[in-house]
Amino acid sequence: MRALVYLGPGSVELQEHPSPRIGADDDVVVKVVGTGICGTDRKILLGRFPARPGVVLGHESVGLVQEVGARVRSVAVGDRVVVNPTLYCGWCAPCVRGATNFCRNKAGTEVGVDRDGTYAEGVVLPERFVRRVPDGMPFRSAVLIEPLACVLNNVQAGELTVDDTVAVLGAGPIGVLVALVAARTARCVIVAETDEYRLSAARGLFEHVVDVSRTDAAEALVKASGGDRPGVVFDTTGSGLEDALRLVDDGGRVVLMGFDDSYSVPLRPLRLTNRGIRLIGAGDFRGDTFPVAVDLAGGLGLERLVTHEFPLEAYEDALGALGGVGRDGTGSRYDAMKVVIRSDAGPAGADGWPVGA
Please report, for the domain that includes residue 218, its CATH number: 3.40.50.720
Helix (H, G, I), strand (E, B) or coil at 41: helix
Residue 350: inside a domain: no
Distance (Å, whole) CA 66 – CA 89: 24
Helix (H, G, I), strand (E, B) or coil at 331: coil
DSSP codes, 51-86? --TTPBP--EEEEEEEEE-TT--S--TT-EEEE--B
Say if residue 211 is in the same domain as residue 103.
Answer: no
Give the model confidence (pLDDT) of 54-98 as tens digits: 999 999 999 999 999 999 999 999 999 999 999 999 999 999 999
Say if residue 297 is in the same domain as residue 172.
Answer: no
Strands 80-83 and 165-169, bridge-based pairing: unpaired
Tally of CB atoms within 10 A around 330: 11
Q: pLDDT at residue 220 above 60? A: yes
Q: Angle 145-157/173-182 helices, nearest 10 degrees?
A: 50
Please state, rounded to an integer, the average pLDDT across all residues of the chain: 91
Helix (H, G, I), strand (E, B) or coil at 174: helix
Which whole number is the average pLDDT over 119-145? 96
**CA dist 315 → 2, 15, 307, 321 (Å):** 12, 12, 15, 10
Judging by beta carbons within 10 Å of its beta carbon (0-12, 13-18, 19+), is residue 319 exposed, middle or buried?
A: buried
pTM listed for this prediction? 0.93
Residue 306: inside a domain: yes
- Binned at pLDDT 50, 70 and 90, residue 170 comes out as very high
Residue 90: inside a domain: yes
Residue 151: inside a domain: no
Does residue 106 contact residue 52 with C-beta atoms inside 8 Å?
Answer: no
Q: Which residue type occupies 292?
A: V
- Binned at pLDDT 50, 70 and 90, residue 131 comes out as very high
Domain boundary among 281, 306, 325: 281
Strands 338-342 and 27-36, bridge-based pairing: antiparallel
Say if residue 178 is in the same domain as residue 248.
Answer: yes
Say if residue 246 is in the same domain as residue 297.
Answer: no
Say if residue 165 is in the same domain as residue 277.
Answer: yes
Show the domain range for 211: 159-281
Distance (Å, whole) CA 76 – CA 66: 8
Say if residue 264 is in the same domain as residue 294.
Answer: no
Angle, vertex CA 332, rays to CA 337 and CA 206, nearest 5: 30
Tally of CB atoms within 10 A around 24: 12
Domain boundary among 258, 281, 304: 281
Distance (Å, whole) CA 321 – CA 319: 5
Residue 348: inside a domain: no
Say if residue 207 is in the same domain as residue 134.
Answer: no
Give the model confidence (pLDDT) of 33-56 as tens digits: 999 999 889 889 988 889 999 999
Give the model confidence (pLDDT) of 303-324 as tens digits: 999 999 999 999 999 998 887 5
Say if residue 207 is in the same domain as residue 326.
Answer: no
Say if residue 78 is in the same domain as residue 196.
Answer: no
What CATH number corresponds to the domain at position 39?
A: 3.90.180.10
Residue 355: inside a domain: no
Which whole number is the average pLDDT over 289-294? 97
Say if residue 272 is in the same domain as residue 304.
Answer: no
Q: pLDDT at residue 18 above 90? A: yes
Query: What pLDDT score does 348 carry?
Result: 57
Query: What pLDDT score does 350 carry?
Result: 54
Residue 356: inside a domain: no
Say if residue 34 is in the same domain as residue 84.
Answer: yes
At a CB cut-off of 8 Å and minimum separation 6, what does 357 contact? Answer: 64, 77, 78, 79
Domain boundary among 236, 251, 281: 281
Say if residue 112 is in the same domain as residue 187.
Answer: no
User: What is the count of structural domains for the chain?
Assistant: 2
Query: What pLDDT score does 327 carry?
Result: 42
Residue 22: inside a domain: yes
**CA dist 210 → 96, 103, 175, 205 (Å):** 43, 38, 13, 13
